[in-house]
Amino acid sequence: MAEEIYFDVAVVGAGNAALCAALSAQEAGVSVVVLEKAPRSAQGGNCPFTGGGFRFTHDGLGDLQDNLLPPGADVGRATMDPYTDEDFRRHFQEATHGDTSAELIEVVIAQSRPTVDWMHSRGVAWELYVNPNLENAPSIIPNQVGLAAHGSGPGLVAMLTKSAERAGVQVLYETKMVELTMGDLGEITGLIAQDGEGRHHIRAKAVVLACGGFEANPEMRVKYLGAHWEKAKVRGSRYNTGDGHRAALSAGAAATGQWTGCHGTPIDIDAPTTGDLPITDAMPRRSYPLGIMVNVDGRRFTDEGASFAEQTFVRTGEAVLAQERSMAFQIFDARASGMLEPRYGGSTPAQSDSIEGLADEIGVNPGVLRATVDAYNAEAHEGDYAPRMLDGRSTKTLVPAKTNWAIKIDRAPFVAYKVTGGITYTYGGVKIDADARVLDMEDRPIAGLYAAGEIVGGIFYHGSLRAAGLMHGSVFGRLGGAHAARLA
């Protein structure tokens, strides 16, 4: 092993949460190193795959204008309602069915706006998530996502990296954390890192783990999420393989949160195995409420109309993965096919003027598919789709039922899109307190160990909350970096 290297604070990861931690620690005047397993071109974990949106409390559009790019940008006649503490709290409780950690969420809510302002002071340029000057822009802008980083996720990583490097933070690319090192009293003394020249001992008084989840690790997906997740397409970084989870648990950290849960979605069968930035966002297939889904046997297997796709796409993606060959077919008729989300335009569907012909095109038994469609149509309704309204048009005895949008599939041509399941990020992680300190199994802080971002458990359960992931990563990254610097 090469000679030891010393820094006051070591940060593992180089995405949003990690760079906020590094900048926060640097402000205290300590030496900071950032370890990024990926090459610089693939830096940032899942952050580059996001839209760069942040959910935080604010008092409406006028309250945000000083943060906009350019300062005081023209917002025309657009308005935005305030987003209150109670709004944020209620939306978190609704998304997680009340299972989220109340302690952590109160920290996120209280620190959300101060953190956005702090990021702006550290070089992050913000813009409205919806451009109010576009011809088709709403006059009342939704208030949940207050601002987005200029240049979306890639822009956010670029701005934070530039700020960190200017401040003297050293970023080591293609450098992987292998394990944490500990002293006789169980305190963190640094970590073992590996790069192209071998292994190195980086001594540090504090370590901040902000290196993502385990979604790109098939072994961990099977262990924690279930066997059917083995073949899931990864919608984010190939480098999020649970390194931080394994190192923290080996150091005695408590596991918390929904380790059996993740953010997933139905995705095009031809989507890349891991995230490919130019095309990944075009791969989800979420218009299934307007049709039916069948497996390779030609049979339905889930309630396509249980609710809006925004509320069901995670469990629907999981249901697809549980089918034989981890795939399914989304079937639409002419009445629905013109209403599919634009992302479907990136696929070439199978098409036929008859259900039997469509079955031949997708390799499904024609008789079985015909029987499936006939049974569905026998209980389905005439009429047109109202995609933005739960219409209550449901089947009566069909198993599985279709609760909404049970409209007959009887207008040629018929089309079918082949889909599988994709995974975006995992929910389970290590337990932290309000200061981002990692806790052990007895809820005692492990001296010198902090965590932020996707590695933190206890925040998301059952579902996620749009633009809250980046927000909680920044909040606890900033807190973890500040407290790590104080310890150092």
Q: What does the DSSP assignment read for 373-416? A: HHHHHHH-B-S---TTS------SS-SS---S--B---SSSEEE
pLDDT attached to residue 463: 87
Provide mean pLDDT across the span 42-63: 96
Mind listing the pLDDT tens digit for each residue in 209-256? 999 999 999 999 999 999 999 999 999 999 999 999 999 999 999 999
Q: Which range scores top for mean pLDDT: 2-6, 17-21, 278-282, 463-467? A: 17-21
- Structure tokens belonging to residue 383: 């009429």
Read off the pLDDT of residues 366-376 as tens digits, 9 standing for 90 and up: 999 999 999 99
> Residue 409 pLDDT more than 90?
yes
In this model, does residue 66 exceed pLDDT 90? no
Give the number of other Cβ atoms within 10 Å of residue 155's Cβ. 17
The yes-or-no verdict on residue 2 having pLDDT over 70 is no
First to last CA, the chain: 25
Query: How large a percentage of the chain has pLDDT more than 70?
Result: 98
Tokens of 227: 């066997």
Mean pLDDT of 17-29: 98
For the CA atoms of 196, 201, 202, 204, the dihedral, rounded to the nearest 10 degrees, stands at 160
Report d(CA 172, CA 23) in Å as an integer. 15
Output the DSSP codes for 120-169. HHTT--EE-SS-TTSTT--SB--SSS-EEETTHHHHHHHHHHHHHHHTT-
d(CA 107, CA 119): 17
Per-residue confidence band for 133, with pLDDT thresholds at 50, 70 and 90: confident
Residue 461, pLDDT > 90, answer: yes
| Residue-wise pLDDT tens digits, 81-90 | 999 999 999 9
Coil vs helix vs strand at 187: coil
Output the pLDDT for position 80: 93
For 54, the enclosing helix (H) or strand (E) is strand 53-54
Q: Which residue, among 336, 470, 421, has the nearest Cα to 47 in the 3D structure?
A: 470
Return the number of other C-beta atoms located less than 10 Å from residue 354's C-beta. 13
pLDDT higher than threshold 80 for residue 3: no
Residue 1 has pLDDT above 70, yes or no: no
- Calpha distance 471→108 (Å, rounded): 7
Please give the average per-residue pLDDT across 141-146, as a whole number.
93
User: For 430-457, what is the mean pLDDT?
Assistant: 98
pLDDT of res. 280: 92
**What average pLDDT does the structure give for the chain?**
96
Domains recognised in the chain with CATH numbers: 5-213+427-487 (3.50.50.60), 264-423 (3.90.700.10)
Does 466 have pLDDT greater than 80? yes
Task: Output the pLDDT for position 316.
Answer: 96
d(CA 268, CA 264): 13
- Continuous segment of H or E residues that includes residue 190: strand 188-195
pLDDT category, 6, cuts 50, 70, 90?
Answer: very high
Share of the chain above pLDDT 90, in %: 92
pLDDT tens profile 301-342: 999 999 999 889 999 999 999 999 999 999 999 999 999 999
Largest CA distance in the chain: 75
Backbone phi, psi, residue 480, to 5°: -60, -40
